[in-house]
């Protein structure tokens, strides 16, 4: 049996929930299809101990409904996964959205039929849906990298992936744990496992620059002030480069004598989280000299915190600060002072396989384990979309069309894929995700509104607009020496963490969140220039 909706939305995280609300405003019937058993997306799947936001709670939430902003009481500056998941459940119930969300439903096929101007969406359970508008809301970091190491089947202990963490608590007490991966996930998990396990061996390929999170409880007065100031907060996120509620530093490195740079970094280090990056120097990510000074500042902190000099050396990155997405941590470096924690570099001594009893490296050493934890990261931006097998007018899947490089219009639409919209799609910015999603959904809603008002039912970017946008994204990356340097550091910004993934492609809009919002507004002000709106009957093939 096939059910028809005006819109099918794939994914029940920030993008899916926000899109569902928008379709309500548009008067469309809509169904969210979500693979998990509940809402939350990233915050449903990534339930490893220690998982918490590293964006401040009051901006990492739904901005579109002031009632939600006022009624939800965040308890911490950076809330943990259970609180974010609870917030999602509250939000969908408060907005009465749950009845339009179908859980345990994984989409594995989306095909556009030009004759009827509909999308057919199929699921792994054999259900099918048809719809006019298809919105992918699968998240930029959904498809987790599976452990590529041979021999895992023979391992006699337990193993788990952080991105598919079991709902039941995992007991590390008294166990030997080997943990692979020191990205933002590993950085959050390591201190928690270190506290509980008998022995923790961390296998690190590339070190990261970890700045203290400085999480704290939100006192009632602070929370009340936040709630009073939401207009100002959302105005700040409109213009801040990463869509955070922060002001620019209004300070370039040239404004401060070099021998005083460390005082500025001290203030950022104390402020915690992304404030180190965004409230120190406004040219930190473009000026390599001040960037190197920031890098050396963090390296000196590592050397001061970690007692064993050899371990400290291994933890010190040598690439640009921001060349990989910098994680935020709580007692991360301190964990390596514990007697039960050992850091092993696999940079030049790669993991070869998993044995019955542990993880083997190229030199033959086996690190014994009762539990192996894989925090290996994601096939970002295109991975989850590829799993949906989205086929456009010429029958090609997105991954076929995008070989060797994705080209989109505004990271939201693709020529040859009418009425298909992506959230956190390739060539959208990496920034405070809920805010980027909110702006992108407003853009989609505006396009559908325009279609409704002019009597069109086919919305599609022109090939020229998509090609021009792709060139624009390439140019923005070309300017960015620091981000580009991540190629040699397996940066997922560049697809360099996934073997065989195209390196000629540009996966993100690197012009900053505010730049992207400006471009979205520009397109809307020009009556959606770059998108074509047509009436399907005019181009009916039958």
- Are the beta carbons of 54 and 184 closer than 8 angstroms? yes
**Least Å from the CB of residue 486 to ligand N01:** 10
Q: Pattern 274-313, binding to ligand N01, x per CB under 6 A?
A: ----------------------------------------
Angle in degrees, CA 171, 172, 177, rounded to 5: 145
DSSP track, 463-476: HHHHHHHHHHHHHH
Site for ligand N01 in 49-68 (CB under 6 A): 52-54
Interface with ligand N01, residue 183, by CB under 6 A: yes
Q: Pattern 385-414, binding to ligand N01, x per CB under 6 A?
A: ------------------------------
Interface with ligand N01, residue 431, by CB under 6 A: no
The tokens for 346 are 């696999």
- Are the beta carbons of 233 and 58 closer than 8 angstroms? yes
Q: Which of 127, 92, 95, 173 is nearest to 3 (CA)?
A: 127
> Which region among 48-56, 225-233, 409-417, 460-468 touches ligand N01 (by CB under 6 A)?
48-56
Select 242 or 469, whichever has its Cβ closest to ligand N01.
242
Select 358 or 461, whichever has its Cβ closest to ligand N01.
358
When binding is defined by CB under 6 A, the residue of 179, 190, 314, 351 that contacts ligand N01 is 351
Interface with ligand N01, residue 186, by CB under 6 A: yes
Interhelix angle 220-228/230-239, rounded to 10 degrees, is 70
Select 297 or 319, whichever has its Cβ closest to ligand N01.
319
Number of residues that bind ligand N01 (CB under 6 A): 25
246 burial via Cβ count (<10 Å: 0-12, 13-18, 19+): buried
When binding is defined by CB under 6 A, the residue of 195, 251, 396, 490 that contacts ligand N01 is 490
- Are the beta carbons of 339 and 108 closer than 8 angstroms? no
**End-to-end Cα, the chain, rounded Å:** 25
Q: Please state, in angstroms and rounded to a whole number, the distance separating the CA atoms of residues 373 and 186.
A: 9
According to DSSP H, which parts of 306-426 are helical?
309-315, 332-335, 383-387, 398-401
When binding is defined by CB under 6 A, the residue of 43, 74, 492, 508 that contacts ligand N01 is 492
Number of residues that this document lists for the chain: 542
Site for ligand N01 in 326-345 (CB under 6 A): none
Q: For the chain, how long is the longest CA-to-CA vector?
A: 75
Interface with ligand N01, residue 322, by CB under 6 A: no
- Are the beta carbons of 377 and 324 closer than 8 angstroms? no
When binding is defined by CB under 6 A, the residue of 206, 215, 237, 397 that contacts ligand N01 is 206
Q: Please state, in angstroms and rounded to a whole number, the distance separating the CA atoms of residues 225 and 247.
A: 17
Interface with ligand N01, residue 325, by CB under 6 A: yes
**Run of H or E including 195:** helix 184-196
Interface with ligand N01, residue 79, by CB under 6 A: no
Interface with ligand N01, residue 47, by CB under 6 A: no
Select 141 or 243, whichever has its Cβ closest to ligand N01.
141
Q: Which of 365, 283, 324 is nearest to 483 (CA)?
A: 324
When binding is defined by CB under 6 A, the residue of 105, 117, 120, 185 that contacts ligand N01 is 185
Select 188 or 335, whichever has its Cβ closest to ligand N01.
188
When binding is defined by CB under 6 A, the residue of 377, 425, 461, 486 that contacts ligand N01 is 377
Site for ligand N01 in 141-180 (CB under 6 A): 141, 148, 180
Which single residue is written with the structure tokens 């290996």? 376
Select 273 or 530, whichever has its Cβ closest to ligand N01.
273
Bridge-based pairing state of the strands 101-102 and 30-33: parallel
**Least Å from the CB of residue 380 to ligand N01:** 8
> Which region among 16-24, 219-227, 260-268, 373-381 touches ligand N01 (by CB under 6 A)?
373-381
Which single residue is written with the structure tokens 């963090």? 298
According to DSSP H, which parts of 354-432 are helical?
383-387, 398-401
Q: Pattern 453-482, binding to ligand N01, x per CB under 6 A?
A: ------------------------------
> Which region among 99-107, 228-236, 376-384, 527-535 touches ligand N01 (by CB under 6 A)?
376-384
Which single residue is written with the structure tokens 């970091």? 141
DSSP, collapsed to helix, strand or coil, labels residue 140 as coil
User: What residues line the site for ligand N01 (CB under 6 A)?
Assistant: 52-54, 141, 148, 180-186, 188, 205-206, 325, 346, 351, 375-378, 490, 492, 497
């Amino acid at each position: 049996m096939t059910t028809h909706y005006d819109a099918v939305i794939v994914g029940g995280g920030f993008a899916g929930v926000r899109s569902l609300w928008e379709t309500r405003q548009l008067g469309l019937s809509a169904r969210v299809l979500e693979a998990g058993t509940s809402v939350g997306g990233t915050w449903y799947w990534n339930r490893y101990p220690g998982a918490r936001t590293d964006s401040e709670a009051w901006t990492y939430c739904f901005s579109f409904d002031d009632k939600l902003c006022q009624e939800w009481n965040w308890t911490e500056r950076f809330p943990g996964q259970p609180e974010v998941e609870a917030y999602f459940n509250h939000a969908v119930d408060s907005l009465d959205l749950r009845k339009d969300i179908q859980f345990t439903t994984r989409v594995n096929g989306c095909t556009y039929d030009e004759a009827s101007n509909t999308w057919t969406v199929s699921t792994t359970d054999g259900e099918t849906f048809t719809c006019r508008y298809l919105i992918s809301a699968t998240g930029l970091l959904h498809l987790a990298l599976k452990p590529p190491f041979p021999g895992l089947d023979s391992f006699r202990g337990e193993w788990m992936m952080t991105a598919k963490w079991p709902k039941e608590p995992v007991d590390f007490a008294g166990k030997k744990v080997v943990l692979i991966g020191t990205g933002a996930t590993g950085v959050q998990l390591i201190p928690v496992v270190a506290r509980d396990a008998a022995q923790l061996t961390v296998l690190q390929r590339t070190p990261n620059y970890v700045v203290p999170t400085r999480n704290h409880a939100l006192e009632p007065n602070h929370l009340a002030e936040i709630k009073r100031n939401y207009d100002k907060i959302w105005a700040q996120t409109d213009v801040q480069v990463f869509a955070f509620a922060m002001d620019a530093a209004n300070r370039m490195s040239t404004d401060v004598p070099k021998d005083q740079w460390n005082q500025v970094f001290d203030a950022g280090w104390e402020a915690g989280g992304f404030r180190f990056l965004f409230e120190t120097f406004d040219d930190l990510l473009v000026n390599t000299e001040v960037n190197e000074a920031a890098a050396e500042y963090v390296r000196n902190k590592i050397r001061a915190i970690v007692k064993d000099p050899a371990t400290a050396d291994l933890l010190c990155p040598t690439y640009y600060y921001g060349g990989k997405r910098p994680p935020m941590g709580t007692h991360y470096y301190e964990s390596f002072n514990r007697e039960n924690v050992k850091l092993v570099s696999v940079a030049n001594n790669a993991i070869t396989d998993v044995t019955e009893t542990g993880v083997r490296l190229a030199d033959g050493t086996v690190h014994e384990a009762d539990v192996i934890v894989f925090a290996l990261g994601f096939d970002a931006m295109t991975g989850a979309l590829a799993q949906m097998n989205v086929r456009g007018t010429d029958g090609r899947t997105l991954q076929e069309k995008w070989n060797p490089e994705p080209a989109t219009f505004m990271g939201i639409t693709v020529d040859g894929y009418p009425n298909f919209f992506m959230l956190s799609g390739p060539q959208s910015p990496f920034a405070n995700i809920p805010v980027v999603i909110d702006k992108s959904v407003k853009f989609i809603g505006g396009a559908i509104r325009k279609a409704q008002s002019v009597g069109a039912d086919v919305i599609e970017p022109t090939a020229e607009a998509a090609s021009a946008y792709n060139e624009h994204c390439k140019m923005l990356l070309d300017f960015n020496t620091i981000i580009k340097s991540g190629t040699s550091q397996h940066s997922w910004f560049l697809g360099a963490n996934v073997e065989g993934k195209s390196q000629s492609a540009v996966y993100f809009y690197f012009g900053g969140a505010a730049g992207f919002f400006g471009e979205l507004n520009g397109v809307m002000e020009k009556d959606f220039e770059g998108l074509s709106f047509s009436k399907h009957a005019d181009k009916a093939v039958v």
